[in-house]
Amino acid sequence: EAQVTQNPRYLITVTGKKLTVTCSQNMNHEYMSWYRQDPGLGLRQIYYSMNVEVTDKGDVPEGYKVSRKEKRNFPLILESPSPNQTSLYFCASSLAGFGTDTQYFGPGTRLTVL
Amino acid sequence: RKEVEQDPGPFNVPEGATVAFNCTYSNSASQSFFWYRQDCRKEPKLLMSVYSSGNEDGRFTAQLNRASQYISLLIRDSKLSDSATYLCVARGYNFNKFYFGSGTKLNVKP
């Protein structure tokens, strides 16, 4: 089944404790992206990747890191999480990131930073 | 100003009604456009892309007005299952950046 998976789905952590949210897709998509969703603000793009070893900042990259060492995986790293990073996070992928390519989203990771 | 703006609603309509949502976009978010549907904090799913000439998919019609910088979604013969949040999405001049509206909530009632 074609899908985007994220782990963990739910995470409660404390300020400053490094964490990684994994994202994996099995559709051989080149383009992957991370978003956060906050009430009243919609989804905002954190980072995106056009292909292996090619990443760039979205609109809200502060406090986050990403890597793309393999085509299928695009982990999101919070080196020192803070309470303002409490949010619902979505990973997405699409074939090539051009034109009207459909983005397929993972199920989301609900993160709470205390 | 946000790149993509939507009326948050909620729009409360009876079954069978026709309902329309608009979404405005800025110059920096104007390459291509989409409507996504999101059910209660689940992942967004593509409803339809929006083409320059307008396009229809069953009960759903999307229109693009570049002169006034807005896109619209029309839902005819609303079903209870159409209750969801509809997200307007625009791709920026940097093709790899996407801008989401905050969503319009639709409640279809029996």
Each residue's pLDDT tens digit, A51-102: 999 999 999 999 999 999 999 999 999 999 999 999 999 999 998 766 667 8
pLDDT in tens for each of the 110 residues of chain B?
Answer: 788 999 998 999 999 999 999 999 987 767 789 999 999 979 999 999 998 888 999 999 999 998 999 999 999 999 999 999 999 999 887 778 899 999 999 999 99
CA closest to B99 among chain A residues: A44
Task: For residue A45, give how far its alpha carbon lies from the nearest alpha carbon of chain B (Å).
Answer: 7
Give the pLDDT of residue A30.
Answer: 93
CA closest to B42 among chain A residues: A107
Q: Is A84 helix (H, G, I), strand (E, B) or coil?
A: helix
**A84 vs A107: CA distance, rounded Å:** 21
CB-nearest to B95 from A43, A97, A106 is A97
**A65 vs A32: CA distance, rounded Å:** 14
**Contacts with A98 from chain B: Cβ below 8 Å:** 95
**B51 vs A98: CA distance, rounded Å:** 14
A76 within 8 A of A23, measured Cβ to Cβ: yes
Tell me the per-residue pLDDT of A3-36, one tens digit each, with 9 for 90 and over: 999 999 999 999 999 999 999 999 999 999 999 9
- Record: contact B46-A103, CB cut-off 8 A: yes
- Record: contact A31-B96, CB cut-off 8 A: yes
Task: For residue B16, give how far its alpha carbon lies from the nearest alpha carbon of chain A (Å).
Answer: 28
